[in-house]
Amino acid sequence: MTTVPTDLLVAGQPVETADRFEVVDPATLEVIAEVADAGPRDAAAAVETAGSAFASWAATSPRQRSLILSEAHRLMLDEAEHGARLIVRENGKAWSDAYGEIVYAAEFFRWFAEETVRVRGDFRSAPAGDKTIIVDHRPVGIAYLVTPWNFPAAMATRKLAPALAAGCPCVLKPAAETPLTALWIGDVLRRAGVPDGVVSVLPTTDPARLTTAILADPRVTALSFTGSTGVGTALLAAAAPRVLRTSMELGGNAPFLVLEGTDVEEAVEVAMVAKMRNGGSACTAANRFYVHASLAGPFARAFTEALGRLRIGPGLDTSHDVGAMVSAAERDKVRELVERGAAEGGSVTVAGSAPESGTFLAPHVVTGVEHGGTLTRTEIFGPVAPIVSFEDLDDAVAMANDVPVGLLSYVLAGDPGTGLRVARRLESGMVAVNRGVVSDPAAPFGGVKESGLGREGGFEGIHEFLESRYIAADL
């Protein structure tokens, strides 16, 4: 059985700190670990060791990096139960969500193991015939990676895998709610053969102070962040003075459109996944439902019934479909949003019931919601489904696009051709047509508008950590 690292990981070694902080299981409110709390001095040590490791890691052959990433994939899957347990305990989510996340997270190591040996350059004559244009790629340098608590494994590997594949050393800063999964992944990479210093993991309770120290260090050249739009825009501003390469995976507010002629049962089946994967705490979660007036009543009834059948309780009990929310603060934020939705005229139905102890929350369906109200403007990040009814498809598309963010949209259409045509009109980086999940390491994940910059996964993901170098040659 693998032990659970709780010290920082710097230069391939566990590093203790004077201060430590508690990690709480939100299902039981039990303290499950005390983790080292990194400060600016640890940041400097991590950057120093990354700087020393950079040249040799960048010079490692792509094949060698590929083999190490493949080994990390294998180890993660071998230890999947252990990883899932860590996620359940520190994040609160259901076992099936946690186990599924480990498999998804490990897949980033496999995908980028395959990508690192396939980075292509360019060699061609200039149109004027006066020179040869040669383009190759090199690693951007030390990458600072900041991840949220909602997918503690997948958000880390979605950054670590392409950065390492590109030849960049990394400093990973996980969310304070979920440091254990990140420390375990750091340890997996160490055991897979990543040289000392190439990956550091720095949990902290003071992310602003740690980040300020890291971004000010001239050796750090890239910032890859996943989290809220508010923190992301602040970090973009902090990255501006040194013109850092930035990748930003920020907040969502996904519309879920159910078009006229859609089968209600199928729409509900898809909605259950789109809304309830990860208990609703996903940037991709369906946040607001726009349902054609001819289906709005039956959809709301069937959806509420299906939500009411979910079994809610501690994730270590595999019979539960939905676990706890990550913290009381997150649960209370969601409850408050429901109250505001009700005060604005929404009619609230609680579907099923949740345990009283721990930070559980039963799903809520809110009907009679007007577009433009709190529940359609705010990323809810919990098990709440506001339903807006529409008559005209153009109005539905306009409402779907009427928010400052654009990560993912869902379209449910009886006719897939109509679904595709509507998909092309939606202002989001990703669209799901007649399905509830889009995430795939082989596809480019990312948003438009205030949902972010850049793409993770797919063929694009490795290029977030590479820069193109153009050489003009007389040959």
Read off the DSSP letter of residue 369: P
Tell me, by CB under 6 A, how many residues bind ligand NAD: 28
- What is the Cβ-side half-sphere exposure of residue 341, based on CA atoms within 13 angstroms? 30
User: CA 357, CA 224: separation in Å to the nearest integer?
Assistant: 36
Chain position whose Cβ is nearest to ligand NAD: 227
Residue 309: CB atoms within 10 A of its CB come to 10
User: CA 329, CA 465: separation in Å to the nearest integer?
Assistant: 35
Q: Does 8 bind ligand NAD (CB under 6 A)?
A: no
User: In this chain, which of 35, 98, 153, 250 binds ligand NAD, going by CB under 6 A?
Assistant: 250
Give one word for 200, left, alpha or beta, with left for phi > 0 and alpha for psi -120 to 50.
beta
Site for ligand NAD in 380-409 (CB under 6 A): 407
Q: How far is CA 212 from CA 179, 215, 249, in A?
A: 20, 5, 19
Active site residue 456: no
User: CA 345, CA 371: separation in Å to the nearest integer?
Assistant: 12
Q: Does 160 bind ligand NAD (CB under 6 A)?
A: no
- Residue 127 vs 241, nearer CB to ligand NAD: 241
CB neighbours of 394 closer than 8 A, spacing ≥ 6? none
Q: Does 324 bind ligand NAD (CB under 6 A)?
A: no
Q: Does 452 bind ligand NAD (CB under 6 A)?
A: yes
User: In this chain, which of 17, 49, 150, 376 binds ligand NAD, going by CB under 6 A?
Assistant: 150
Strand (E) or helix (H) holding 43 = helix 40-59
Tokens of 138: 């090199």
- Residue 92 vs 167, nearer CB to ligand NAD: 92
Closest approach, Cβ 88 to ligand NAD, in A, equals: 18
Q: Length of the chain in residues, anyone?
A: 475
User: In this chain, which of 249, 260, 321, 427 binds ligand NAD, going by CB under 6 A?
Assistant: 249
Ramachandran angles phi, psi of 357, nearest 5°: -85, 160
Closest approach, Cβ 363 to ligand NAD, in A, equals: 19
User: CA 369, CA 346: separation in Å to the nearest integer?
Assistant: 5
Binding mask 257-296 for ligand NAD (x = CB under 6 A): --------------------------x-------------
Concatenated DSSP letters for 88-146?
A: HHHH---HHHHHHHHHHHHHHHHHHHHHGGG---EEEE-TTSS-EEEEEEEE--EEEEE
Closest approach, Cβ 313 to ligand NAD, in A, equals: 23
Q: Does 102 bind ligand NAD (CB under 6 A)?
A: no
Catalytic residue among 71, 249, 456, 464: 249
Amino acid at 148: P
User: CA 305, CA 293: separation in Å to the nearest integer?
Assistant: 19
Q: Does 231 bind ligand NAD (CB under 6 A)?
A: yes
- Residue 21 vs 459, nearer CB to ligand NAD: 21
Closest approach, Cβ 175 to ligand NAD, in A, equals: 4
User: CA 246, CA 232: separation in Å to the nearest integer?
Assistant: 10
Stretch that binds ligand NAD, among 29-37, 51-59, 206-214, 460-468 (CB under 6 A): 206-214
Closest approach, Cβ 373 to ligand NAD, in A, equals: 19
- Residue 193 vs 404, nearer CB to ligand NAD: 404
Catalytic residue among 79, 283, 379, 427: 283
Closest approach, Cβ 249 to ligand NAD, in A, equals: 3
Active site residue 283: yes
- Residue 53 vs 462, nearer CB to ligand NAD: 462
Stretch that binds ligand NAD, among 18-26, 141-149, 239-247, 391-399 (CB under 6 A): 141-149
Q: Does 57 bind ligand NAD (CB under 6 A)?
A: no
- Residue 5 vs 227, nearer CB to ligand NAD: 227
Helices 62-78 and 154-166 meet at what angle, rounded to 10?
160
Structural contact between residues 408 and 452, judged by C-beta atoms closer than 8 angstroms? no
Ramachandran angles phi, psi of 451, nearest 5°: -85, -5
Work out the end-to-end distance of the chain between its first and last CA atoms, rounded to an integer number of angstroms: 59
Residues that bind ligand NAD (CB under 6 A): 146-151, 155, 173, 175-176, 207-208, 211, 226-228, 231, 234-235, 249-252, 283, 379, 407, 447, 452
Active site residues: 249, 283
